[in-house]
Each structure stands twice: as structure tokens, then as C-alpha cells.
Amino acid sequence: PLDAEMEAAASLAQQVLPPRSRNHRRKKKNQGADGYENSGHETSDFLFTEDDKSDYFVTEDDKDDDDGGDAEDEINNDSVMETINVATAKLSIEGAENGNDADNITCKEDITLTTCASPTHSPPLSPPQPSTATLSKPRRKRAPRKRGKGKKGPQPVPEDHLPDSIVTQDDDENDATRTLDGQSQQKGVVQEEEQSANPLYVSCQVCTDQPPQQQQQYDDSIYIDEDDDDYPADMRIQKEEEEEQLEEDAPKKPKRTIEEELTFLERISDTRYQVQVGFVPNMKVPAEIIVNSDLQTLLVQELRDTCCIGPYAEAEQSFIPALRQAANVAALPGIVKASLAMPDVHSGYGFCIGNVAAFDMEDPLSVVSPGGVGFDINCGVRLIRTNLTEVDLTGEMKEKLAEEMFQKIPVGVGRKGEIKCTEDDLDRLLAEGVDWAVEKGLAWPEDRDHCEENGRMDMADPSFVSKRAKKRGLKQLGTLGAGNHYAEIQIVDEVYDQNAADTMGIGKVGQVCIMIHTGSRGLGHQVATDALTTMERAMSKDKIELNDRQLSCARIGSREGKEYLAGMASAANFAWVNRSCITALTRKVFADMFKRTPEEMEMHLVYDVCHNIAKVEEHSIGGVMKKLLVHRKGSTRAFPPYHPNIPKDYQSIGQPVLIGGTMGTCSYVLVGTDKGMTETFGSTCHGAGRALSRNQSRKKLDHVQVLERLKNDGISIRVASPMLVAEEAPESYKNVTDVIDTCEDAGISRKVVKLRPVAVIKG
């Protein structure tokens, strides 16, 4: 007979391990890029009073008290997992064909049960059902969900699903959505993992659904669970199956060849092409693309690579080329004049990057679309001038300055800000924008005069920003982020318009400037994500039909539309304050390094522009002034001289326009023109625009070689995640000079100054 231990093992082996919850929520913990810890920060008397120091800067005690994670999303990493050896015995089946003799059973395999030893969690042990083939049944992996009408709501498309020959969306939308090793992830979705190598374990449903070796940490930006949907799982699956069946039963429309596609593309001038009505269904106006012949070739090639899918099958495809995206925008209700695309155009989420579209505020059918703003609301650029020259950066000073900026300005995925911000502070700054920063000593009073909208959108209402968005914003104020966001020390390299340059205070060749490019970080991303679900319901209620569900929208005058605009404006105010905080940190770094005050170095703000925003503006349509809601996604406002919405000291030259180049290439300062006001709603480009997808960049470029080339060019670089450098290499983007020249040839903006980078700080 079996002894007591062997009998217990045999008894345990007859029971069934409770199945893991299919809809378990994945846990994650916030951490810095490459394990980079928050550095200390000393304040200076010129920036803060003694009271301000204690109230608005993070102290070492604060860092000890706050681990930077989200309490409701945190994994209890301190839990100790115990391994209990239940029995070691041989389970050998030797008997007749019709049954097993208990006397012949011996145990020969270790049966190990794993449980959580947390003092508050003690789930009962439930051993597994043995099998002649395996001791555990492999978990059925969930089939990937297809994007299309059968799926609830629009979802971002992972880059790994894109063809190698086509371009992905701009980083302005998907900042900080990659793992630290540079691998792309689908925005907001974490893929399910393989089941543990240990086949026998008991999961604690309170702590974690995974065995200890399965636990992973994810950046806070990966926050949407795959199963986090409006419908319960069974209802959602049933709904998807029904809609997919309807799509299969519907008659298929014919697909066009690339030659047939190009018959809709008409050349208007050397810098303007028009996509005629009829290219996609339901176009209200044409789409106009401002590109030269070289840039137009890239767009046509992108269309050629996807033409086999056809223009009537958006629900079946995971990528939509920029030309078709611009045309789909032209089919939105209430759009006026044309759907416009700037020279840096490339495919994005819903709207293409570089898209400008205006909607009549008096038309009850007009819509607002989060896809026309982007996920990084009010991503923008600001330029700070100094009276320093390149001579002041000789020797070791440039390297020391770059290192100090890298240490004091939080960069990279998951970095916490150096600026303390309470919940009350957050609500105030969401409503007041730069006015709050001025009150707290984080910005100079004159700074707000040189920001679009004076750094404050009055339609903001923090009550329409979700708790989740606010939680993300609390720890990210004063942070740069990752992707194509940066802080650069630049030198005035060439002056094209001396009068305009002198008016801005940047008219001396060799003059040192600082350019900052970042946005609303996780708070803005969450506002956009929250809005997509709301817009889906609004479209169903108002029976709005779209060519692409990524264009989810709501009537401007509807409750959903007003709430989104209020939340978007709040996120825009956050972005202006975020850039103001980074400016305060930059001024302090320069003061510490050069032993002079920022006032003595004349560190004035030249201007601050946003290039992901929707604003209410007045424009002439057919000779009649109309109030329009102008969406600018990856495009910059460029108002002409004497426009009432630009600062008084720039009235004679027009609005400054700041165009950041690629990492290691030049940037530009432009001004707006009268022609741009009449033809593009006072808009121009925002940067170079991607030429290679991030996947292509990682495959074709070596980050070590990229860093070496920058060093050989005399550019100091500090980067939190070196593996991501290849994604932002100059070869990954279009030639920024071609883009700028196209804008000038088209008459929508004028060149004033070219800036050359000497030090780059990136996430």
C-alpha cells in the first residue's frame, strides 16, 4: 500500500486547478528609462522665494515617500513567493488495458505548488488534474482582434503590422509607447504572455494572475488593458461576429489600380496638388497637398504600396496612406474649403500628420475629431534666446552644459518631474495655463505674451479631465518625455531676414539659443483616449457615418463635442505650463554654469507655438468672415503681420513660426504671410516629417553609428534610451530644408533664421 505522503500526492493529483481569469487586468509599475533615477535639484534665489522652494520642488524626503507608481495599478513586488514541495513520487501507470492497479502506482515527478506568501492574501491551494500527456493544459491564446467595423471603437495600429515600405504615424501621437529596449508596442494594448514554465501553481487573484517568473513591469503609458471595453466579453464577441457577418454578406465594391487612383490627383502648381472629389466616398470638398515634386513622389509611393487594398476597404486594412487620409477628412460633416496637407505630411492616426481642416461653427452638422488634434495635445516648440555666443561654449563648457541639462531636466519614458504639484495646483493650472506658472515663479510675466493664446485657452474646464488623466499629469509636470521630443542648444547659423531676426532678438550669427519640443505628456494622451470612447457613442447616437473609424467625432455643439473641447483645452494649458517648467529648469542650469542670472544673459522667450490643437478662429470663406473650428495636427499656426492675435512687438513682421529639424540637423524660424492666411487658414508645416517608419529605422540604421556620426559633427548628445536613437536619426526623416523651401515657394511662410544644433538632450 502507498504510504501517507504518496497517498496525499495521488489525491491532490485528482483535483483540478482553478482556471485563470481570462479577463485579468495586467499590472505595471512606473520606472525610469534605463533605470535612470530622479536627480536632486537645487533652487536658486532668483527663481523662487524660500516658501516657493519648499512648496514646489521635490525634496529628498518627498522622493523617499513617493515611489512614483500608481497605487491602483501597482504590483506588490515585495511579496515573497513560496514554493511548497507537496510530494516527490513516481506516477507510473503500469496495469491492464482496462484500468490501473493502485498497487502498481509509484511517483517519479516533482509536483510543485506556488502560492503567494503575502500576509494579507492566503488563497487555498488547488492542485491540478494530471494528464497522460502533460500535467497542465496550455492556455488558449486569444486570437488578435481585427481593426474594422466589427470592432468596438478605433484602435491604434502597431507598427510591426505595417509593410516595410510605408511610413508610420508621427511620434507626436505616440510618445512613450515603446518598451525601454526600443521594441514597438501597440498603443494602449499589452499582448498576453505565454503561460508559466511551471505547470503547477496557484495564482493569487488579489496580487497577480501570473506566476512569479511571469511578472513584468510596464511603463505607465501602457495603461489600457485589451479587455477594458464598453461591453462584457461575451456580448462584445457576439456583437463583433454579427457585424463581421454583415460585412461578409455585403456586396464588395471594385478596387482600383494605382493608375486609376492617380487619375484623381491633379497638379495645380509646382507646389500644390489636388485630390479631386470622388477619390473616396462622401467627399464634401477636395483635398489639397502642398508638396514639391520630390515630396510628392514619396506620397505616391506610399499610395502605390497599398493600392492593392483599394480605396473602399478601410475596414480591412491596418494602414491608410496619407493621401487617402486627407481625402477621408474631406468627407467629414461641416468641413469647408478643403482638407489641407502641409509639405511634411505623412500617415497618422485618423488625420494624417500635417493635416489642416476647418469646420463651420454655425453648421449644426459640423464635427470635432480627436484624431484631428492627436494624442499629444498641444505638442509644441518654444525658443529661448541668450546674449551668449558660440565662443562661450568652447572647451569643456558645452559638454558640461549638456550633461547638466540632462541631469536636471527629466527625460525618457516614465521619468517623474522635478516640480511638485498638488491636486489643487493641477486643477488650477489646467484652467489657468501659464498664468499659474507666472504666479508660482515658474515663468516670467513677459513669457505669456509670447505664447499662442497667451498660454491659456479660456474654454478649458478641468472637470472634464478624467481622474486617470490627472493622476498621470501630477507626476509628469516639467518632463520632456521620449520619442522626437528634445531640448537643444542651438547656434544662429544663417539670417535670411535681418529686420525680422532683429525684432525677435536673434539677429546675430553665432548667438546661442535653446529650443524645447514637448507637449502634454500622459495627461493629454489620456484625454484623447477617453474621448475616443465618448465619440463612438456620439456617432451612434447622431448616426454619423465615416470612411475611417479612426476619425471618430461628435457634433461641435453636442454635449460630447463641448466636453472634449473643454478637456482638450485643459490639456493644452498643461502643455504650456510643462514647457514653462522646463524653461525654468533651463534658466537655472545656465545660471549655475555661467555664474550669471538669466536676466543678465537675456534669456527671453522668443515664442511658443503649438502644432497639435483645435482652435476657434475667424477666416474668410468665399469673401464672408466665418467662425471656424480649425484642426491643426502636425501643422503650425502662421498668422500674417498686423493680425490681432499675435504679440504687439511682432505686429510688423508676422507671427514667429518655430520649425524643429531632426536630431543633428538644422531648425528654422519663419514668419506667417497674408497668402497663408487666405489659402491655408494661416497654417504651415511643423517639422521635417518621417520618411521611414520606426521599424524601418531600427532595421536599417545602427544606433551606435548614428551616435558616432553626431559626435563627429561636433554635436554633444545625451539620450536616456540609446537604442531608440536610430528611430530619430536624420535618415529617418525628410529633408527639413526641402520642406521649408516648399512652404516659402508656396507663399505660406517666410524664412527668417536657420539654427544649428551643438547639443541635444533626448529621452
Cite the active site residues: 686
Q: At what angle do helices 559-594 and 423-432 cross, to 10 degrees?
A: 100
User: Does 485 count as an annotated binding residue?
Assistant: yes
User: Does 121 count as an annotated binding residue?
Assistant: no
Q: Is 208 exposed, middle or buried (0-12, 13-18, 19+ CB in 10 A)?
A: buried
Cell of 195: 503561460
Helices and strands of the chain, counted as H and E runs? 18, 21
Contact call for residues 689 and 345 (beta carbons, < 8 A)? yes
User: Does 517 count as an annotated binding residue?
Assistant: yes
Contact call for residues 182 and 721 (beta carbons, < 8 A)? yes
Q: State the DSSP string of 272-322.
A: EEEE-TTSSTT-SS-EEE---HHHHHHHHHHHHHHTTT-TT-GGG-S---H
Residue with cell 547639443: 759
Which DSSP category does 419 fall into?
A: B
Query: What distances in angstroms separate CA 34 from CA 27, 363, 411, 720, 724, one per listed residue?
Result: 20, 51, 11, 7, 12
Residue with cell 510530494: 87
Which of 631, 634, 743 has the alpha carbon at shortest distance from 681?
631
User: Does 35 count as an annotated binding residue?
Assistant: no
User: Does 360 count as an annotated binding residue?
Assistant: no
User: Does 479 count as an annotated binding residue?
Assistant: no
Dist CA 515 CA 517 (whole Å): 7
User: Does 612 count as an annotated binding residue?
Assistant: yes
Three-state DSSP state, 166: coil
Which of 168, 213, 253, 743 has the alpha carbon at shortest distance from 547?
253
Query: What distances in angstroms separate CA 258 from CA 268, 280, 301, 611, 702, one per listed residue?
Result: 20, 14, 10, 32, 34
User: Does 457 count as an annotated binding residue?
Assistant: no
Contact call for residues 16 and 180 (beta carbons, < 8 A)? no
Three-state DSSP state, 688: coil
User: Does 41 count as an annotated binding residue?
Assistant: no
Q: State the DSSP string of 371-401.
A: GGT-SSTT-EEEEEEEEEEGGGGTTTHHHHH
Cell of 536: 463612438
Dist CA 669 CA 657 (whole Å): 6
User: Does 662 count as an annotated binding residue?
Assistant: yes
User: Does 688 count as an annotated binding residue?
Assistant: yes
User: Does 23 count as an annotated binding residue?
Assistant: no
User: Does 611 count as an annotated binding residue?
Assistant: yes
* CA torsion through residues 544, 550, 555, 558, sign: positive
Terminal-residue alpha carbon distance, the chain: 67
Contact call for residues 226 and 192 (beta carbons, < 8 A)? yes
Q: Which residues contact 761 (CB under 8 A, 6 or more apart)?
A: 402, 405, 406, 409, 411, 480, 486, 487, 488, 717, 718, 719
Contact call for residues 732 and 483 (beta carbons, < 8 A)? no
- Please count the other Cβ atoms lying within 10 Å of the Cβ belonging to residue 375: 29
Three-state DSSP state, 596: coil
Three-state DSSP state, 13: coil
Contact call for residues 718 and 410 (beta carbons, < 8 A)? no
**For the chain, percent helix, then strand, then coil, each to nearest 5?**
35, 20, 50
Dist CA 273 CA 338 (whole Å): 12
Which of 176, 181, 174, 171 has the alpha carbon at shortest distance from 216?
181
Contact call for residues 627 and 616 (beta carbons, < 8 A)? yes
- Please count the other Cβ atoms lying within 10 Å of the Cβ belonging to residue 11: 12
Dist CA 39 CA 469 (whole Å): 25
Dist CA 536 CA 552 (whole Å): 6
User: Does 660 count as an annotated binding residue?
Assistant: yes
Three-state DSSP state, 440: coil
User: Does 11 count as an annotated binding residue?
Assistant: no
Contact call for residues 360 and 336 (beta carbons, < 8 A)? yes
The separation between CA 332 and the C-alpha centre of its own chain, rounded to angstroms, equals 24
Annotated binding-site positions for GMP: 484-488, 611-612, 660-663, 667, 686-689, 762
Annotated binding-site positions: 376, 484-488, 517, 611-612, 660-663, 667, 686-689, 762
Annotated binding-site positions for Mn(2+): 376, 485, 517, 611
